[in-house]
Amino acid sequence: MRAPTVGFIYPDHAAEDDYPLAAEALGAHLPVAHIYGTDLHAVPELLELGSPEKLRGGAALLAPHQPEAIVWACTSGSFVYGPTGARDQADALATAAGVPATSTSFAFTDAVHALGLRTVAVAASYPDDVAQLFVEFLADADIDVVSMASAGIDTAAEVGTLTPDQVLQLAVDNDHPDAQALLIPDTAMRTLAVLPDLEARLGKPVLTANQVTIWAGLRLAGVEPVSPAFGALFAHRKTDVRR
């Protein structure tokens, strides 16, 4: 039987090794296609990175894998368009690829709703102005952000150098007692291997960019991914997902 196949369009290079780690644990085929642009966490550069032309190119690179679904694996390169623009972006990607498509930003909102949560804290790697756009995106999905912290890291390449201890410290320093979950929105950050430690330290679900991206892609492909190694989101089957 063919393993479920989900394709991911990933910007530049940083933490894409989270995908083969997940593929092995989940028994799935998760090919990654890279597109390139300036990796600044700044609005003009992010708009260019998530442009229709770039994503069509990524979809073409994934076509030989015959994916059942495709995900634009970039949080900031999707929420920067706003809720309506991000929906248009995902719809255009689906049309180009000929299969269902979504993005990491929608993966976050779907994951929060699937866990039945309403209040979250955000520990963002981005500069403050970009991080605020993520807060607005979540608010549009009826998710209450009780606190938002911005690390002010200018480029994805820099985020990719964070060590597991630094990721853990980012989470611990920026949790909030009123938040039902902590969100860490950057696919340039390696997080899958440290998810059990993150959730153990905080005592609540932690949703990270590559984690929710993989989860959402498999859901689009008709697969209910279950693996306790990847946190509460993957711990059991869920049914209440909104888009």
Residues of the chain above pLDDT 70, percent: 96
Q: How is domain 116-207 classified at the CATH fold level? A: Rossmann fold (3.40.50)
The two three-digit tokens of residue 84, written as one number: 């309506």
- pTM score: 0.94
Q: What is the pLDDT of residues 159-174, one digit of tens each?
A: 988 999 999 999 999 9
Q: Quick one: CA torsion of 102, 3, 112, 234, rounded to 10 degrees?
A: -160
Q: What is the pLDDT of residues 198-208, one digit of tens each?
A: 999 999 999 99
The two three-digit tokens of residue 52, written as one number: 């229709």
* Strand 101-103 versus strand 32-35 pairing type: unpaired
Q: What is the pLDDT of residues 77-117, one digit of tens each?
A: 999 999 999 999 999 999 999 999 999 999 999 999 999 99
Rg of the chain over CA atoms, in angstroms?
A: 16
Residue range(s) of every CATH 3.40.50.12500 domain in the chain = 6-107+210-234, 116-207
238 pLDDT tier (thresholds 50, 70, 90): low
242 pLDDT tier (thresholds 50, 70, 90): very low
Q: Quick one: CA torsion of 152, 153, 159, 162, rounded to 10 degrees?
A: -70
Pick the CATH number of 6-107+210-234 from 3.40.50.10130, 3.40.50.12500, 3.80.10.10, 3.30.56.10: 3.40.50.12500
Is the CB of residue 196 less than 8 Å from the CB of residue 85? no
